A and B are shown apart, each in its own frame.
Chain A
Amino acid sequence: MEQQSNAPSTVLTAGSAADAQQDFKVALVLLAVAVALLVHTLGFPMSGSYGGVDNQWFVSPALFPLLVCGLLVICSGMLLYKATRKQGFRGFGELRGWLGDWRNERIKDRWYVIGLLLVYVYVYIPSTDFYLASVVFLLSLTSRFYYPMVNGLSRSSTLHLVLALCLIAVKLNVNVSEDTHWLSINYDEDAIRYSDLSMLMALMCLLTLSVCFPQNKDRKRAVIQVLVVLLVPLLLVCTFNFLLYVPMPVEYGTVSDFLNYLVYDVLAFQ
Chain B
Amino acid sequence: MLEQFSHFFSTLFALATSPTNLLVVFGASFVGIIFGSMPGLTATLGIALLTSLTYGFGPDVALLALLGLYVGAIYGGSYPAILINIPGTPAAAATALDGYPLTQKGQAGRALGLTTTASFIGTLIGLLFLVTLSPFIASMALQFTSWEFFLLALFGIVISGTLTSPGTVLKGWIAGLIGLFLATIGRDSLQYFPRYTAGFSELDAGLEIVPVLIGAFGIPQVIRVLSERRSLAEAPKLGRILPELSAITRNIKHIFRSSTIGVGVGSVPGIGEDIAGWVSYSTAKNASTPEQQKEFGKGSEAAIVSSETANNACIGGALIPLLTLGIPGSPPAAMLLGALLLHGITPGPSIEVDHPNFLLEVTAIMVLASFAMWANGMLLAKQVVKLLTIPAPLFIPVVGILCILGGYALGLSIFNLYILIPVGIAAYFLGEMDFPIAPMVIGLVLGGMADESLRRALMLSEGSFLPMFERPVAVILLVIIGCFIVNQIPAVRTRTTSFWAGLFSRLARKSPVV
Residue in B169, B174, B451, B488 whose beta carbon sits within 8 Å of that of A30 in the complex: B174
Grouping DSSP codes into helix (H, G, I), strand (E, B) and loop, the A interface class, with mixed when no group exceeds half, is: helix
In the complex, A84→B465 CA distance in Å?
A: 37
Is B192 positioned at the interface, with any CB of A under 8 Å from its CB?
yes
In the complex, A183→B414 CA distance in Å?
A: 9
CB distance from B198 to the nearest CB of A (A): 10
The reply to whether A228 and B398 form a contact with Cβ atoms under 8 Å apart is: yes
Known: A2-B282, A51-B191, A58-B463. A121 touches B170 (CB 8 A): no
In the bound complex, residues from chain A placing their C-beta under 8 Å from that of B454 are: 63-64, 67
Count, chain A residues at interface, CB 8 A: 80
Contacting residues of chain B (146-180) with chain A, CB-CB under 8 angstroms: 162-163, 165-171, 173-174, 177-178, 180
Contacting residues of chain A (113-134) with chain B, CB-CB under 8 angstroms: 113-114, 117-118, 120-122, 125-126, 134
In the complex, A170→B391 CA distance in Å?
A: 37
Contacting residues of chain A (98-117) with chain B, CB-CB under 8 angstroms: 106-107, 109-110, 113-114, 117
Residue in A11, A114, A138 whose beta carbon sits within 8 Å of that of B170 in the complex: A11
Contacting residues of chain B (468-499) with chain A, CB-CB under 8 angstroms: 488-490, 493, 497
1/0 per position for B406-436, CB-CB distance to A under 8 A?
A: 0011001010011011001100100001110
CB distance from B430 to the nearest CB of A (A): 8
In the complex, A65→B163 CA distance in Å?
A: 25
1/0 per position for B290-311, CB-CB distance to A under 8 A?
A: 0000000000000000000000
Grouping DSSP codes into helix (H, G, I), strand (E, B) and loop, the B interface class, with mixed when no group exceeds half, is: helix
Known: A2-B278, A15-B168, A110-B227. A44 touches B195 (CB 8 A): yes
The reply to whether A249 and B414 form a contact with Cβ atoms under 8 Å apart is: yes
- Apart from A8-B497, A51-B191, A246-B412: 8 A-B pairs, beta carbons within 8 A: A1-B93, A10-B169, A40-B196, A82-B168, A141-B397, A228-B398, A236-B405, A246-B408
Chain A residues with a Cβ under 8 A of chain B:
1-2, 4-13, 15, 19, 22-23, 26, 30, 37, 40-41, 44-45, 50-51, 53, 55-61, 63-65, 67-69, 71-72, 75-76, 78-79, 82, 106-107, 109-110, 113-114, 117-118, 120-122, 125-126, 134, 137-138, 141-142, 145-146, 183, 185, 224-225, 228, 232-233, 236, 240, 244-247, 249
Chain B residues with a Cβ under 8 A of chain A:
53, 55-56, 93-94, 97, 162-163, 165-171, 173-174, 177-178, 180-181, 184, 188, 190-193, 195-196, 219, 222-223, 226-229, 275, 278-279, 281-282, 391, 393-394, 396-398, 400-402, 404-405, 408-409, 412, 414, 417-418, 420-421, 424-425, 428, 433-435, 447, 450-451, 454-455, 458-459, 462-463, 488-490, 493, 497
